[in-house]
Each structure stands twice: as C-alpha cells, then as structure tokens.
Chain A
Amino acid sequence: MKILVCISHVPDTTSKINFTDGETKFDTNGVNFVINPNDEFGLTRAMWFKEKQGASVHVVTVGAPETEPTLRKALAIGADEAIRVNTPATDGYSVAKQLAHIAQEGDYDLIIGGRESIDYNGGMVPGMVAKMIGANFVNTCISLEVDGTSVVVIREIDGGKETLNTSLPLVVGGQKGLVEESDLRIPNMRGIMQARSKPLHIKEPVTAGAKTVATIFEKPAPRGAVKLVDTVDELIDLLHNEAKVI
C-alpha cells in the first residue's frame, strides 16, 4: 500500500497570533512552526501501516522553502520520502489542486490529511482532493483499518460516532483517535540523522487558480473585565437578568 500524508505547516498551538503589513500578513516573527496536530495523528497511523503492513509512506506539503524543516521532522518520525510543492499555500482549492496532482502522479492508495489545519481552519482540502481524483472520502476519521482494498473507518459525528465500510483509493480527514496522544512519536537522534539523507523532492506547481483571497485580518475585540461574584445566588441572577442566557 502506498500512503501519502498531507502535512500542513502551522504555528504551534501556543503561538500569539499577530499580523503585519497593514494587517494583511500573518506575522511569523518568533513563531515556532510544527506539523499540524491533526496531520501528526494521521502520520503516526501511517507509521503503523508501514511497520505492520509494509506500507510505504510519503509526506507532502504545499509551501515555500521555509516549510522544509516540518517535512524533515515527518521524515525523522519515519516517513520514507517527502515532497514539497514549491508554491505558497494561498487558498484551499488551489492547495487541493496541487495535492490532487501529486496524488495522481504517485498513484497512492490511501491519502491521509487532517480534519482541519489549525491556521486557516478551512476543513476543506482533503475533501476537495478526494473529489478531484474520484477517490472515496471520509472526514473526522477516528479509526482506520485496511485489509487488502477493503477499509473500515469510524468517523466522529455530532454526539457520537459512525462506522463505515469503504474501499481504496481513499482520502481521509483525520484527527485524534486515529492514534492516541500517547502514541505520538518524538523523533530520536537516529531518526533525525536518517531524515537528512532521505529524499525530499521539490516539485513545481501545476496551474491552479485560487478561488478565494484573504484580504485583511483582524483580532477579536478585547473583552471587558470579568465580574467576580461571591455567591451562587448572585451568579444565577446575573445569568438570568443581565446576560439573559438562562
């Protein structure tokens, strides 16, 4: 089985979010970039398929050269090869177009992405890739088992979960549950050394018109100070009469 894991290079979860150039660009100053958490669960599940079922695992990111350390980290975790599509990620549709091209060119059986990226939170790229290449698609995937070309997946639904049967070729939008938090791997020295000599292919982008453009960013308005109360009676009164939420 050939697996492609789509990796989004995102600011780590503790990052302070600021913008520059008249609030038109994300300020990367002092920001530490990581593998998108949802993608890391998917990558770790892919490692399981590699170790238990002999799958080969490639990772791909659509992005500028500064995303390469993130790809190297994925190689250090154990991916066999990495691909960087040499163009900045602008909108979900154009990123999906690039990934669909890579997916078809490499004839992958299973494509694992994340439910959403924690930067632009589009929650759209994996579904778009699936539709573009005519593969099956399951989103919010929390369990994935492959036997030959048959696949059993569990997806999270609002208030529960749903078990589905499907088949390869398949694209999933994954999240925690694909593996547990405790299964995530911190690259060791050996992995980091090996990653240096693993292939990292740079591919030029195909034409893919963006359909949306972010024009300006804004931060939420600062909130008023908290009202501290001493008794539960006061709290109930405020929730009822002032906030009008109960």
Chain B
Amino acid sequence: MSVLVYTESENGSFKKTAFEVVSYAKAIADTLDTSVTAISINGGEASELGVYGADKVLEVSNDMLTKFNAEGYADAISQAAAQEEATVVVLSQTANAKFMAPLVAVNLEAGYVSNVVAVPQSTTPFKIKHSVFTNKAFSLTEINTNTKIIGLGKNAYGLHENSAAAVAEAFSPTIKETQTTVVSVDKATDKVTIADAEVVVSAGRGLKGPENWGMIEEMAAILGAATACSKPVSDMGWRSHGEHVGQTGKPVAASLYIAIGISGAIQHLAGINSSKIKVVINSDPEAPFFKAADYGIVGDAFEIVPQLNEKLKAFKAQNA
C-alpha cells in the first residue's frame, strides 16, 4: 500500500504544484499509515520532494515522454500505481494533469474526483470535498473503488514541509507509440500564466479599449502577476481568449485577484471564487463585485491604477 503522487515539472525543474501535491499526499499517507511515492518524469532533484514528504521517488526518463503526451504519461502513472500498490493517486489540476487523469482512471478502473479542496473527511468510507457548479457549491463525494484518484485544486492545500528520505529509484514503464504528435507549442515563456500565478491582475470592459491595457500589464509586471480579463473583453478581441476567466473561461485560484473595471457578474465571480483575497477597483459603488470582494476602492481606474502602480513600485523596491 502507498500513496502515489505525480509531480509535474517543466524544463527539468519541479513546478510549485508538485510540492503542493506532495504535501497533500503526505497528509493522506499519514492518515492511512502508509508512505508517499512520487513519480517524476524528466523532473528535478528527488531531494526537493523529500522536503515535502516523499519517501520514494520513481524517476522516469524515456525519450517518448520528453514532450507531454497524455496517453504515455497516463500509462507511466498507471504502471507506477500498480507496482506501488497505490490505494490513492494524487494529481494536480494543471491542463496536462486534467488531460490525462481520466485516462489513468480508466486504466486503473478507479474512481476519480477532480477540483478537490481538502484532505479526505474520512477514509473508510473514503469521502472527499470538491467544488462543483463552477465553485458555487461543494460536494462531499464518496469514492467506492480500491484505488482512488484525486485531482487537487491549486492552492487548496498549500505547502507543508516535512522531511522524508526521497529515495530515488529508476522506473521504466512500457510506453506505446501514440498517434497524437505535437507539431508546435506556442507559449510566451517570459509571462506568468494564470495557472501558475499567485497574483492575477484582471480588467474588464470598464477599461474602454485594448489600448488602455498598458497600465494593467505594468501592474502585473510589478507584482510578478498574470494578466486576465472578463469574457466580453476577450469576445471583442481586446485580449486573447486564454485570458478570459470565469465560469466559461479559466478558473483562478490565486492568493490575490485584482479586478479593475469588472462589474462582477455571477459567471465571472464563479470562476474566481477560490482565490483567497479579492480587490476591486470600480467607479460604480453599486457594482456587484464589491459584495464578493475583500478590499475595494470606488473610483476611476484611469486615476487609481497609475497611482497604485507608482506606490506598488516604491513598496516593492523597499521590500525587495
């Protein structure tokens, strides 16, 4: 018996979500009185996972897995789960993890619950809380299979240090040829993505036009944040679709979400519910967003944002 956790990496180093899923896997392993095995595909140093509680690290290096391919990755994880007799498999909720999780579930004939927000409420029966109705509610769901697959929502558990041996072991899964091949990847490498960001600066139709996004980009640069927008802004082509957040766009689970000139429609709020602190800047004191926010300034974005940028710059310079 063990808890298997897939630790995702990019360009040979672990992503922050990898440390979060290991912290979480450790908590489950403690409850079940078992150990944590991580599986790392072309990843970073095993010892980095020990810090968060990995007892063992299965290291995979396979030419067929150099680029992400959902089937191959799912097969590697499924075979590791079988070898380790894993009763729980923990994945993150990055685009790639969400892509392959259902394949792992079918391979292992396991119950899969996504968007999980907490450690299991009980382990016999295995009951776990996850968000449903695009964050408008939670469900406590029971998983009835021997193996359980958990997709842990970003920032749902946080990082918890532990110290474990993280014994590295080579693992060579059998990978089949896939008929799906990557032709090209188009990704801005210098920008923080909404998925990875701790801080997201988002703006809406209140900004009047795409030419006014300079101050939003600037705030994002000062805060090391990702930029985002409301749906009409991407529908009108002011910003790319990848920035659209909300019920029909991307979910945002950041520590800080700053909404500028966004009214706070129910579909927008649904997508950002799981962010911790929400700040609203809006000229209309009646904007519904104020009811969902932690902090707010009522005022004209074109006055406030430049001031805020100046002060944030000074603050960052002082606290660097």
Contact = CB atoms under 8 A, between A and B. Distances in A.
Interface residues of A, number: 78
Contacts of B179: 136, 166-167
A220 interface: yes
Contacts of B143: 211-212
Interface string A171-194: 000001100111000000000000
12 contacts: A118-B247, A120-B132, A121-B115, A127-B102, A161-B186, A211-B145, A212-B112, A219-B136, A232-B307, A236-B312, A236-B315, A243-B294
A166 B311 CA distance: 51
Nearest to A137: B70
Given A93-B112, A164-B181, A214-B141, A243 B297 contact: no
B191 A159 contact: yes
Given A93-B105, A245-B256, A165 B293 contact: no
Interface string A11-46: 101100101000000000000000001100000000
B253 to A, nearest CB: 13
Contacts of B196: 158-159
A40 B113 CA distance: 24
Interface in A206-238: 210-220, 223-224, 226-230, 232-233, 235-236, 238
B122 to A, nearest CB: 11
A132 interface: yes
Contacts of B151: 123
Interface string B175-207: 000111111111110011111101100000000
B278 to A, nearest CB: 9
Nearest to B138: A218
Nearest to A157: B95
Contacts of B31: none
Contacts, number: 260
Interface residues of B, number: 93
A246 B223 contact: yes
B137 A37 contact: no
A125 B102 contact: yes
Contacts of A98: none
A13 B311 CA distance: 38
B98 interface: yes
A123 B276 contact: no
A84 B107 CA distance: 27
Contact of B296 (A159, A162, A215, A227): A227
A75 to B, nearest CB: 23
Interface in A115-172: 118-128, 130-132, 136-140, 142, 152, 155-167
A158 B133 contact: no
A235 B295 contact: yes
B9 interface: no
